[in-house]
Structure formats: structure tokens, C-alpha cells
Amino acid sequence: MFRSLNEIEQTVRKAARGRGLPWGIADEAGKAVRCLHQMELGGIGQLIRMLDQSDAGGVSLRLVHGGGTWTPKSGKLDPLLAGPSLCDFMDARVSSRVEMEQVACPLLLAGFLVNAVSGRRDAMRLSWSGVSLEISSGQIGIHGSDQELETGLGDHVVCERIAGLDGLPASARSGQVWVEDAAWARLEQYARRTYVEATEASRNAGAGAGLLDND
């Protein structure tokens, strides 16, 4: 079914939170996946793959940073957790290069970085085995095969600042996006974890409105 970009952003936000990520991270995850769809890089498929790995205990919700390299506390590194911090470090010129080990679905990192450089002259290169993405405002230059791009694991992922890419037109699209119903249903399963089950008491007291409207 076709989905609006706002619908995707909001549902991803809830799904990320439903998987256990903090709200502030979930807010950015929604925007990152929306952005990947605008770039026609199919974010929801990658996201579900990552959430499923995470839900099975294969992805850590904490990361460890020592000696300039980010590693997962156990299992794989969560790109939804690493992505926002990556933007903080690269954007703030706190660092011009960050290295990460064992990143699950590393393509998801690109969504965060595109938003970070949006409207700026900054540019970044994100690379892992066989893949290099050159990211500037509204634009991603891709080098690598689809298979390598959509890998479920980037053993060693590097993000570094590169010279600004002037003159590239923004390629972000707006409009509806086709999402397979099964994928959407899976996303909603995660989102549903943020909802509280309704009881008769909450129905009456929680929202406060009368049930009938006949006056």
C-alpha cells in the first residue's frame, strides 16, 4: 500500500521506541528512514531487518567507545543508536573521522548523515567493505553493489569528513511511497509496543470525552 512520508516517519519513530531506543533517538530514526525513502534507498526493509536482529538479542542497545573506535557492548552495533551520535561528532567538528565495528545494517547510518548535512556545504564519506557513500546536502553518491550496500553487517565502518560537493542538485523526492503490507504490519508490531492497552476506566477517564453525542 502507498504510505505518506509523514506516516512512515511517525510509525518508524514509534517502532524504534517500541524496540527499546530512547525517544530522542527514535525521533531521529523516523527522520532518517523517511530520508532514505526520499533518496529511494528503501529504508523500511533495512530497518525491519535490523529491528528483528535487535529483538532477537543480536544487537546491543549500548555502545562502547574507547581508543577512537565505537564498538557494541555485545553482538552488533545498533545503527539507530550510533547514527545520531555520529552526526553530533561529525557535525560539531568534535571529530573528523569516526570508526565503528560490527555495525548492523550500516546503510541506515546514511539516513542520519543526509539529514545532518542538509542545507549545509558539509560532506561526508561513509564506507564499509566494498561500499563508499558520498553524502552531501540532498544527495548521495553510491559506489558499490546492491548486495554490499544492503549488507546486514558492516565489519568495519568509517565515517569521515570530505571536501564539500558543490553544484549537485538535490534529488530528494516527495510523495507517497509503496510499502509492502507485510513490512508495514511488522513495523506496526514494534510501534504497538508503545501503546497502552485500553481499559474501560482509561477509555472513560483517560480521554475524558462523553461516549454519546446526541445533544
Can you give the binding site for another protein, defined by CB under 8 A? 1-7, 21-25, 27-28, 31, 63, 65, 70, 81, 84-85, 87-89, 91-94, 115-116, 118-119, 174-176, 192-199, 201-203, 206-215
**Spatial separation of the C-alpha atoms in residues 143 and 152, rounded to whole Å:** 17
**Spatial separation of the C-alpha atoms in residues 98 and 94, rounded to whole Å:** 10
| Least CB distance to another protein at residue 89 (A) | 5
CA atoms within 13 A on the CB side of 127: 11
| Least CB distance to another protein at residue 10 (A) | 8
201 burial (CB, 10 Å; 0-12 / 13-18 / 19+) is exposed
Q: For another protein, give the closer residue by CB, 123 or 149.
A: 123
**Spatial separation of the C-alpha atoms in residues 123 and 10, rounded to whole Å:** 27
Q: For another protein, give the closer residue by CB, 169 or 175.
A: 175
Q: State residue 31 phi and psi, 5-degree precision.
A: -70, -35
| Least CB distance to another protein at residue 139 (A) | 17
Q: For another protein, give the closer residue by CB, 86 or 149.
A: 86
Q: Which of 214, 114, 199 is nearest to 165 (CA)?
A: 114
| Least CB distance to another protein at residue 23 (A) | 4
Q: For another protein, give the closer residue by CB, 38 or 151.
A: 38
**Spatial separation of the C-alpha atoms in residues 166 and 24, rounded to whole Å:** 31
| Least CB distance to another protein at residue 142 (A) | 24
Q: For another protein, give the closer residue by CB, 104 or 131.
A: 104
